[in-house]
């Protein structure tokens, strides 16, 4: 009976592997090309798993708004099981009472404006430190690896916000803090046979499960140590980091759902992973576009001079008034969404969308990268033109399905406000204090904008530039 129903169109697949052979290094780009031929709701099969690829604003609205509840679950990916405490985290928890309760709790306790504001001084301090380093480079007229600097800035801020302190590279084991995190990230995106052929997952033919379990053990020991340290009483007036908040709730026993140390650890890992790289990658892309578009950069600097004033540091209270900067960031996120396929959604029941049958347990992939670059939706779609948002109501909250860098609906990003605060503040500060030149006489048009697919999609090469101070000390 099922097979008589009309599935969305899609390319012809091969026996057993389905369409796996059609995916290259950048699946979001491959999906875009295929959707041009097969349509905005496309059916593909990866191994034994049915996938629905969504590539237009109207179609995205159907999945994320009209039928949001039915597509609000997540698949049980091997990495989520082995390194995310059996999916007790928010990002990969299946839809159900645990996810609903935990999401409500985190939204209230970790992602609220009140909580975000308690870390304002931390952000200011860390950013001022970076500005000092850049001042030094400006005086010596040397090139700076902006990518590395921004990554350590957001990682340091996230570490202190979540765990209460920065981590030295000697932490963890001989691989160091950065090394262990990178290894975990690599494993999380590695092609895992078990995700496409569930029955052979248990055989661990690639040896990935073993490696993931080993890294999860290292992480777990690290978290246990942090949780133990947080059992010591805090000095009066010290800001409560996320570990304090979560442990406080756990110990109070007031939560109406199961909430033990494993849940606390899963959420901490999730929030750390979700916050640091997403913000740094968005900042890198925005600065890259500004370096390629000096006209836009000068206009942002002019606005900053007017709103903030020369010789003054940008404050978080200035951010809402920086209208042009906010258009620049929207435009950078349209062209460079760091999660171009969002996180995978999973259908809970059989459903009909736009006349097509979508079977239960289909993975739904929303290609926001393709939507952001669709010439049917955007004029001069490939160009970086922040002015396109003048007089437009399109914002980043997921109400406008042509621009979805944070997703939309029940599974949309709960950390959007925090992420945007970081991105706006860092970009504003770095272009307010400094003019930037590309190294070795490189022309703007020569700046490499190649993408590298991973847990987030960042630049394939580091962004390097030479700062010059705009203010006299
Ligand atoms: C520029 C920064 C950020 C971007 C672009 C971003 C983007 C996204 C996207 C696209 C999703 C998936 C939405 C979906 O599947 O429909 C997501 C989910 C999520 N984000 Fe963010 N994010 C950012 C910052 C943050 C921050 C700072 C936090 C937390 C401190 C955070 C926490 C989360 C969590 C917990 C989820 C999973 C939600 C769920 O499945 O219920 N994000 N984010």
Tens of pLDDT, residues 11-50: 999 999 999 999 999 999 999 999 999 999 999 999 999 9
Q: How far is the CA of 446 from the centre of ligand 1 (A)?
A: 32
Q: Which helix (H) or strand (E) holds 436?
A: strand 434-437
Q: What is the pLDDT of residues 432-465, one digit of tens each?
A: 999 999 999 999 999 999 999 988 999 999 999 9
d(CA 155, CA 158): 5
pTM strictly above 0.90? yes
Neighbours of 454 (CB within 10 A): 14
Tokens of 95: 């839809």
Buried b (16+ CB within 10 A) or exposed e, 66-76: ebbebbbbbbb
Q: How far is the CA of 178 from the centre of ligand 1 (A)?
A: 21
d(CA 243, CA 226): 8
Q: Is 413 annotated as a binding residue?
A: yes
Q: Name the maximum alpha-carbon separation found in the chain.
A: 76
For 215-229, give the DSSP string: HHHHHHHHHHHHHHH
Residues contacting ligand 1 via CB (< 6 Å): 90-91, 103, 270-271, 274-275, 278-279, 282, 338-339, 342-343, 405-407, 411-415, 418-419, 423
**Long-range residue pairs from 173-182, CB within 8 A, at least 24 positions apart, any chain:** 173/218, 180/215, 180/218, 180/219, 180/222
Tens of pLDDT, residue by residue, the chain (473 residues): 455 689 999 999 999 999 999 999 999 999 999 999 999 999 999 999 999 999 999 999 999 999 999 999 999 999 989 988 999 999 999 999 999 999 999 999 999 999 999 999 999 999 999 999 999 999 999 999 999 999 999 999 999 999 998 887 667 677 777 778 878 888 888 889 999 998 888 899 999 999 999 989 988 998 999 999 998 877 777 789 999 999 999 998 888 888 899 999 999 999 988 888 999 999 999 999 999 999 999 999 999 999 999 889 999 999 999 999 999 999 999 999 999 999 999 999 999 999 999 999 999 999 999 999 999 999 999 999 999 999 999 999 999 999 999 999 999 999 999 999 999 999 999 999 999 999 999 999 999 999 999 889 999 999 999 999 998 75
Evaluate whether 357 touches 80 at the Cβ level (below 8 Å).
Answer: no
* Per-residue pLDDT at 329: 98
């Amino acid at each position: 009976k099922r097979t008589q129903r009309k599935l969305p169109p899609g390319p012809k697949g091969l026996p057993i592997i389905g369409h796996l052979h059609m995916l290259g290094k950048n699946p979001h780009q491959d999906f875009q090309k295929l959707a041009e031929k097969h349509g905005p709701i496309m059916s593909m099969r990866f191994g034994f798993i049915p996938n629905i690829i969504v590539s237009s604003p109207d179609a995205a609205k159907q999945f994320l708004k009209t039928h949001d509840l039915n597509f609000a679950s997540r698949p049980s990916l091997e990495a989520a099981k082995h390194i995310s405490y059996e999916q007790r985290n928010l990002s990969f928890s299946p839809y159900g009472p645990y996810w609903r309760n935990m999401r409500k709790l985190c939204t209230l306790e970790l992602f609220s404006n009140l909580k975000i504001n308690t870390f304002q001084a931390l952000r200011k301090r860390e950013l001022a430190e970076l500005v000092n380093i850049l001042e030094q480079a400006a005086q010596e007229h040397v090139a700076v690896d902006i990518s590395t600097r921004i990554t350590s800035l957001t990682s340091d801020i996230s570490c202190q916000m979540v765990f209460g302190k920065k981590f030295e590279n000697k932490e963890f084991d001989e691989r160091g803090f950065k090394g262990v995190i990178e290894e975990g990230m690599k494993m999380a995106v590695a092609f895992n046979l078990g995700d496409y052929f569930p029955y052979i997952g248990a055989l661990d033919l690639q040896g990935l499960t073993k490696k993931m379990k080993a890294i999860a053990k290292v992480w777990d020991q690290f978290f246990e140590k942090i949780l133990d340290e947080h059992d010591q009483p805090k000095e009066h007036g010290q800001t409560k980091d996320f570990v304090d908040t979560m442990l406080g709730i756990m110990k109070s026993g007031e939560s109406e759902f199961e909430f033990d140390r494993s849940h606390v650890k899963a959420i901490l890992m999730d929030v750390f992973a979700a916050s640091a790289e997403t913000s740094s990658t968005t900042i890198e892309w925005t600065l890259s576009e500004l370096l390629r578009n000096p006209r836009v950069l000068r206009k942002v600097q002019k606005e900053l001079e007017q709103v903030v004033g020369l010789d003054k540091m940008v404050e978080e209270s200035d951010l809402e008034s920086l209208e042009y900067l906010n258009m620049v960031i929207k435009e950078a996120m349209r062209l460079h969404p760091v999660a171009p396929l969002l996180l995978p959604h999973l259908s809970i029941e059989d459903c009909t969308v736009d006349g097509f049958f979508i079977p239960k347990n289909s993975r739904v992939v929303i290609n926001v990268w393709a939507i952001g670059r669709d010439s049917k939706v955007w004029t001069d779609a490939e160009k970086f033109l922040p002015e396109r948002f003048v007089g437009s109501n399109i914002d980043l909250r997921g109400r406008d399905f042509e621009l979805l860098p944070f997703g939309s609906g029940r599974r949309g990003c709960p950390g959007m406000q925090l992420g945007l605060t970081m991105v706006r503040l860092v970009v504003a500060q770095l272009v307010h204090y400094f003019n930037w030149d590309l190294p070795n006489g490189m022309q703007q048009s020569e700046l490499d904008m190649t993408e590298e697919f991973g847990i987030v999609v960042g630049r394939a090469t580091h962004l390097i530039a030479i700062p010059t101070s705009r203010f006299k000390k």
